Chain A
């Protein structure tokens, strides 16, 4: 077993839900990096808005708010400097392949105690990035602090719930189910939410592999093109000649 320990395994941090209990509160998934970079977002989501926040290794986005919506939280300073351009572009392009809807929350940088409020010097580059995001159909929200970001995430979760897209399956599979989840998470362009839905809606990996496109779309709450992509992958005839030769040693790095 060459699985990297801890990779993709849902963190146990801060989940107060009793297993098996059908919680009526809304659920959102947060990437584990947010524990460090947005602690007040997480605590506000739980304490002020009463959301169930499941921290896991999402990797692709900072938050998953519904079966179709991913949210990235970016600091204004990150959009000000061209240094981040490629990284941001790759990250958002990847998200476009996985989610139907993408939202970026632009958060004003925090002024640390003792620091004089830095004047925000709006650059042409910043306007260019905003324009490109608008043109790419990315939804933009602006927030002045982590508390406001939490309120916006809560608004988005409520909105998605009204549109019947909320995450409604258990988000912390145990034991064997955890291994099954890790299998689904390795499928290209499948979101964490869709992988959870597969765990919940299908009795086994074989049941998933034998399902039609409409059954996959319904069970994993995927759009038709996404379900087609999943179906194609499961039935893809692998040509091992295409793998890079010679075979490298089993990778221990995160991909």
Chain B
């Protein structure tokens, strides 16, 4: 089965079938690797939530068995599956089809590597990223919202005929875009004069 499994922090649990392989040897010393023999479809568990399924060049060439394996995993498991596929000169022709199945249809992650050596390097980085605090991700959150005041001023300046000076006057007087929109024309006139007021009113109401 592809059920959940408890992965001790900072460890990787590998499928028994990889014991003694080149891949396992390259991982050892870089990550704390433990082997278990009841992992079923999964090759490596990186955390309680994330696991890796490897598809070799031979799997790709051999036919559709690997596809059945991926679909079985997807149907049975709630874990996030990262599929690492060996994309070589020989298996290259299958890549687009596999990508369509794995990423677009099954909604899993697919990462190509050229050989087992590259697979081990990638797994090491995936493990590092797993154990990182989410807030330190370079691609997530953390971005401070730009000052609303500056954005509001820019928005009001997009009204034809309104430059910075008038925009400041309008925001000072009405406070929000909502209130500016609902201002009566004579109120606008008091802020920016008759011609400007008509233009602004028409822009906001049509």
Contacts and interface: CB of A to CB of B under 8 A. Distances in A.
User: Are A and B genuine complex partners?
Assistant: yes
Interface of A: 1-3, 85-86, 88-90, 92-94, 96-97, 122, 124, 127-128, 130-136, 138-142, 144, 148, 151, 155-156, 159, 176, 179-180, 182-183, 185-188, 203-206, 209-210, 233-240, 242-244, 247, 250, 255
Contacts of A240: 149, 168, 171-172
B140 A93 contact: yes
B182 interface: yes
29 contacts: A88-B138, A88-B139, A93-B141, A94-B143, A96-B139, A122-B118, A124-B125, A130-B111, A132-B139, A134-B129, A135-B137, A138-B139, A139-B103, A183-B155, A183-B158, A185-B158, A186-B157, A206-B181, A206-B182, A206-B205, A234-B178, A236-B152, A236-B177, A237-B175, A238-B149, A238-B152, A240-B168, A242-B149, A250-B163
Contact of A233 (B112, B151, B175): B151
Nearest to B140: A136
Interface stretch (B6-14, B32-40, B60-68, B92-100): B92-100
A89 B121 contact: no
Contacts of B134: 135
A130 B118 CA distance: 13
Interface in B131-149: 132, 134, 137-143, 145-149
B129 A132 contact: yes
Give the residue among B110, B141, B148, B158 with the most A Cβ atoms within 10 A.
B158
B175 A186 contact: no
Contacts of B157: 1-3, 186, 250
A142 B102 CA distance: 12
Interface residues on B, range: 35 or more
Q: Is the interface of A mostly helix, strand, loop or mixed?
A: helix
Contact of A206 (B118, B128, B204): B204
Contacts of B168: 240, 247
A186 B143 CA distance: 18
A204 B154 contact: no
A99 to B, nearest CB: 13
B164 A234 contact: no
A227 to B, nearest CB: 15
